[in-house]
Amino acid sequence: MKIACIGAGYVGGPTMAMIALKCPEIEVVVVDINEARIAAWNSDKLPIYEPGLLEVVKAARGRNLFFSTDVNKHVGEADIVFVSVNTPTKTRGVGAGKAADLTYWEGAARVIASVSKSSKIIVEKSTVPVKTADAIEKVLRRNCTDPNVQFEILSNPEFLAEGTAIEDLMAPDRVLIGGKDTESGHAAIATLAGVYEHWVPKDRILCTNLWSAELSKLTANAMLAQRISSVNSISALCEATGADVQQVSRSIGTDTRIGPKFLNASVGFGGSCFQKDILNLVYICETVGLQEVANYWHQVILMNDYQKQRFVERVISAMFNTIKKKKIAVYGFAFKKDTGDTRETPAIDICRGLMADGASVCVYDPQVEDEQIYQDLGTEKFEWDHPSPRSRPISKTAIDIASNPMEAARDAHAICVLTEWDEFKTYDYQAIYDTMVKPAFVFDGRNILDHQKLRDIGFIVYALGKPLDPFLQKHYD
Ligand code: NAD
Ligand code: UDX
């Protein structure tokens, strides 16, 4: 059997590497139009940072795992074609700011149709709006000239999270396969399930109809993001009342109906999926006339924006309502730990917010490339429906990036922790404090540091959703 995967990104690369590792008799080729990305997959410096990924790639690469730019050849030869291209939010035209942009998906479908000489199973790996399979099937059928070629479309959304992709792929909570309720649909589902059965227990492979599979992916991300916005909303209430959001999370998380995961209050969720997929869900609801349902999910994003803005305002008001020309060290730019990905990272809005008030921000992140930070802060950000004066692009000369945490904090008035990197917990904060301007502040947007220890050193500490320091209280009352 031959598998081709169109799209060598955060999903296509790791998922195909895992399939190749676990199914040595299957040839797996990951193809992409981006030559630099393919070259990186063929090197020891992979294009994405993901713990454990290099080992998996090295074990299968050259054996039955290949990365290539020859899209036509490998798609043409494959029995199963996974499509794992990007499906970002549309930035122009009808539905701009909400609807999914399916340009890349449609482009991939046209290529499949034009190069196919044999029947194939087409697997939607990308996250797509419900009913996309219908549209793709039309593109495939109308563009394939060979009457003997049949396409069977399956939806097989990916649930891996960045930073834990290999663990998630190795032992997934479930694999979801949606297909048509026809004989050929059932056969295609069985073929794809057979691939996963090499390492995933049968009872974890869930089979549904196409539309349920497509909608389940959007719903899962909306529900996960909703938990974060819910707990973040409570973090604001905790600060106003003296309650402690970590104690509240622990207390409610022990209720087995709620569960302990995804209850960490933060500066806001980021990543390439949550906002995009909720906006997509909102758009679908609006197009089918369910405005109340759309409003309900929209609020999850509004709360996320509020949380980022609230953090910036806390920093400004704590530092005597002026941060002009004050150096602020930002620890962490990635949207979560163990990744170098910065897509939709809350750090973008927070850095811009601080800089809009005149602060001189110095960023340190253990993984994110400097060029990525310049690009993220320096490029016009598409504001989906709320253009903000705080979110203007910053010129490269105004952005300071440090190569280590000491350098970032030297002569700074404050440290803002925006990503929960483990190494941030291990620093010598006394040594850091000694180099800072006094009073020295720590704003812990992830609640990962030992706040009492920091206070004993002399820091004034703001910890998100925790009772406020008396020093800070004075300025808010
Ligand atoms: P990505 O941008 O990292 O990778 C997509 C790749 O597809 C790019 O390298 C691009 O060059 C390539 N591509 C686009 N059009 C192509 C074409 N016609 N032919 C060949 N290559 C083409 O995106 P990603 O993060 O891997 O996400 C892919 C999909 O998976 C999205 O729909 C996303 O919503 C979904 N998803 C992402 C994650 C995640 O954690 N990133 C998790 C689950 C699902
Ligand atoms: C998410 C989904 O978890 C995954 O199933 C889907 O396939 C892709 O989207 P990802 O975005 O990679 O994965 O990371 P995730 O762990 O979900 O974190 C998303 C954001 O939420 C991060 O910014 C993270 O810091 C934040 N988060 C997560 C919180 O603020 N609090 C939490 O309790 C959990």
Q: Average pLDDT of 278-297?
A: 97
19, with CB counted inside 10 A (0-12, 13-18, 19+), is: buried
Confidence at residue 387, expressed as pLDDT on a 0 to 100 scale: 52
Q: Which atom of ligand 2 is nearest to the CA of 270?
A: 23
Confidence at residue 272, expressed as pLDDT on a 0 to 100 scale: 95
- Ligand closest to the CA atom of residue 253: 2
Confidence at residue 372, expressed as pLDDT on a 0 to 100 scale: 96
Q: What is the mean pLDDT of the chain?
A: 95
Q: Which atom of ligand 2 is nearest to the CA of 268?
A: 30
Residue 312 has pLDDT above 80, yes or no: yes
Model confidence over 71-121: pLDDT tens digits?
Answer: 999 999 999 999 999 999 998 899 988 999 999 999 999 999 999 999 999
Q: Which atom of ligand 2 is nearest to the CA of 160?
A: 7
Model confidence over 112-165: pLDDT tens digits?
Answer: 999 999 999 999 999 999 999 999 999 999 999 899 999 999 999 999 999 999
Residue 279 has pLDDT above 80, yes or no: yes
Model confidence over 188-234: pLDDT tens digits?
Answer: 999 999 999 999 999 999 999 999 999 999 999 999 999 999 999 99
Model confidence over 406-443: pLDDT tens digits?
Answer: 999 999 999 999 999 999 999 999 999 999 999 999 99
Q: Whose CA is nearest to atom 23 of ligand 1?
A: 86
Q: Which atom of ligand 2 is nearest to the CA of 159?
A: 7
Q: Which atom of ligand 1 is nearest to the CA of 126?
A: 32
Q: Which residues of 132-164 are buried (b: 16+ CB within 10 A; e: fewer)?
A: bbeebbebbeeebeeeebbbbbbbbbbbbebbb
Confidence at residue 338, expressed as pLDDT on a 0 to 100 scale: 96
Model confidence over 55-85: pLDDT tens digits?
Answer: 999 999 999 999 999 999 999 999 999 999 9
Mutate to test the pocket of ligand 1, among 34, 68, 85 (most ligand atoms within 8 A of CB): 85
Confidence at residue 391, expressed as pLDDT on a 0 to 100 scale: 67
Confidence at residue 311, expressed as pLDDT on a 0 to 100 scale: 98
Model confidence over 232-250: pLDDT tens digits?
Answer: 999 999 999 999 999 999 9
Residue 390 has pLDDT above 80, yes or no: no
- Ligand closest to the CA atom of residue 31: 1
Instruction: Kindly give the distance from the C-alpha atom of residue 9 to the centroid of ligand 1, in angstroms, as a whole number.
Output: 5
Is the CB of residue 221 below 6 angstroms from any atom belonging to ligand 2?
yes
Model confidence over 3-61: pLDDT tens digits?
Answer: 999 999 999 999 999 999 999 999 999 999 999 999 999 999 999 999 999 999 999 99
Residue 383 — very low, low, confident or very high, per pLDDT cuts 50/70/90? low
Residue 396 — very low, low, confident or very high, per pLDDT cuts 50/70/90? confident
Distance from C-alpha of 46 to C-alpha of 30, rounded to nearest angstrom: 14
Q: Torsion angle of alpha carbons 400, 401, 403, 407, nearest 10°?
A: 40
Higher pLDDT: 358 or 395? It is: 358
Instruction: Kindly give the distance from the C-alpha atom of residue 471 to the centroid of ligand 2, in angstroms, as a whole number.
Output: 33
Confidence at residue 401, expressed as pLDDT on a 0 to 100 scale: 98
Instruction: Kindly give the distance from the C-alpha atom of residue 75 to the centroid of ligand 1, in angstroms, as a whole number.
Output: 16
Is the CB of residue 127 below 6 angstroms from any atom belonging to ligand 1?
yes
Is the CB of residue 264 below 6 angstroms from any atom belonging to ligand 2?
yes
Residue 474 — very low, low, confident or very high, per pLDDT cuts 50/70/90? low
Instruction: Kindly give the distance from the C-alpha atom of residue 10 to the centroid of ligand 2, in angstroms, as a whole number.
Output: 14
Residue 477 — very low, low, confident or very high, per pLDDT cuts 50/70/90? very low
Instruction: Kindly give the distance from the C-alpha atom of residue 386 to the centroid of ligand 1, in angstroms, as a whole number.
Output: 26
Is the CB of residue 216 below 6 angstroms from any atom belonging to ligand 2?
no
Mutate to test the pocket of ligand 2, among 124, 125, 274, 277 (most ligand atoms within 8 A of CB): 274
The residues annotated as belonging to the active site are 273
pTM for this one?
Answer: 0.96
Is the CB of residue 85 below 6 angstroms from any atom belonging to ligand 1?
yes
Percent with pLDDT over 70 in the chain: 97
Is the CB of residue 352 below 6 angstroms from any atom belonging to ligand 1?
no
